[in-house]
Amino acid sequence: MEKILQLIDEKLQTLREAAEFTGQSSFPKDEATARKAVNQLMSGDPEASIIKAMGKFGDANKAKAWVKKIGPDTVVDRILAVGNKIPTQGLAKKDMPFLPGPPDAKGDPKDVEDALTAGGKYNVDFKEAIAPPAKNTLTPGSPEAKDYMASGTKDGKPADDDITVKIPSAVSAADAKPTQTNILLAKALSMAIGGIEGGDIDAWISTDGKILDGHHRWAATMLNNPSATLGAAGAIDMDAMGGTTTALKHLTAIGNALGNKTKTAESTEPVKENLQETKRWQKLAGIIK
């Protein structure tokens, strides 16, 4: 019996040393690394680096059961599907607009639609390639914010700043396109093992499926059920605004003018971005009510 236990311990040690994952490890794009992660999940070893990377949310027994339920090869394939969708050059969360829609945002999604369509209270001038204000410089009700939110009515072309905005909107996980590069493997696995599948990402998307936030819910859904639907606050035709980069700058300014500064803090620990986000994630994962 002692020899058997020693062999088991040696096998577990080999798995630990095969690949060291941390809370900051992104999704791999190569099969070897993906399979090492799955092998660690299947080991049932609480000391495996992928389990430890999940922090207090790591549960070796639940992880093993989850992989068995889905199938090891399928989990490998789905990890690779996420990894290969992540852009090599993308945007950090601190550079993403924060628009009305999520519970902690100010304003109404209809305000965004009003700003991007002709008529109404607002109309932003984005067709003339006017540079949007710098990030987080507009404050609600200020003369600068009022001028910017009505700039489309002052260019002599009151009907040209008009694009497609759909409120609300949705996209399947498989059809969604991430725009961030920092999508953490351990965080997404924690959420997937906790049962996250589809649901509302509490964010906006583009009309061609680019997601602006909620990337870990998307990744967790890809791991559990790629065909599941992700709900969004709305969808915007960002190509009609001059492309993704220009559109995001204008959307950031619109969010600022409505009272929402960008979320500049970056995650430094697995499944922790700030106290509010941690509690929100725990509720989604069923850890707390």
| Region 63-84 average pLDDT | 98
Confidence of residue 90 (pLDDT cuts 50, 70, 90): confident
Segments forming the whole domain that contains residue 158? 88-289
Cβ-contact 179, 211 below 8 angstroms: yes
**Amino acid (one-letter) located at 176:** A
What is the tens place of the pLDDT at every residue in 122-137? 999 998 767 889 999 9
CA distance 23 to 191: 13
Residues 62 and 185 placed together within one structural domain of the fold: no
Residues 18 and 151 placed together within one structural domain of the fold: no
Nearest CA among 14, 26, 3 for reference residue 187: 26
CA distance 242 to 248: 10
| Region 147-173 average pLDDT | 91
Residue 277 has pLDDT above 50, yes or no: no
Residues 43 and 68 placed together within one structural domain of the fold: yes
Q: What is the DSSP letter of 44?
A: T
Domain total in the chain: 2
What is the tens place of the pLDDT at every residue in 193-234? 999 999 999 899 999 999 999 999 999 999 999 999 999 999
Which residue, of 85, 107, 129, is where some domain finishes?
Answer: 85
Residues 133 and 246 placed together within one structural domain of the fold: yes
Residues 68 and 95 placed together within one structural domain of the fold: no
Confidence of residue 19 (pLDDT cuts 50, 70, 90): low
What is the tens place of the pLDDT at every residue in 234-253? 999 999 998 988 899 999 99
Residues 127 and 209 placed together within one structural domain of the fold: yes
Residues 112 and 79 placed together within one structural domain of the fold: no
Residues 128 and 247 placed together within one structural domain of the fold: yes
What are the distances in angstroms from CA 235 to CA 8, 66, 208, 262? 52, 33, 8, 19
* pLDDT for the residue 216: 95
Residues 236 and 126 placed together within one structural domain of the fold: yes
Which residue, of 29, 55, 85, is where some domain finishes?
Answer: 85
Residues 78 and 94 placed together within one structural domain of the fold: no
* pLDDT for the residue 244: 87
More confident residue, 15 or 68: 68
What's the CA angle centered on 185, arms 172 and 278, to 5 degrees?
85
Residue 2 has pLDDT above 70, yes or no: no
Alpha helices in the chain (DSSP H): 2-18, 31-43, 49-52, 60-70, 72-85, 109-116, 143-149, 185-193, 215-224, 244-257, 275-285
* pLDDT for the residue 15: 46
Question: Which residue do the tokens 């850890």 mark?
Answer: 287
Confidence of residue 6 (pLDDT cuts 50, 70, 90): low
CA distance 74 to 158: 52
pTM metric for this prediction:
0.82
Residues 162 and 130 placed together within one structural domain of the fold: yes
Residues 124 and 207 placed together within one structural domain of the fold: yes
Beta bridge partners of 180: none
Which residue, of 55, 70, 85, is where some domain finishes?
Answer: 85
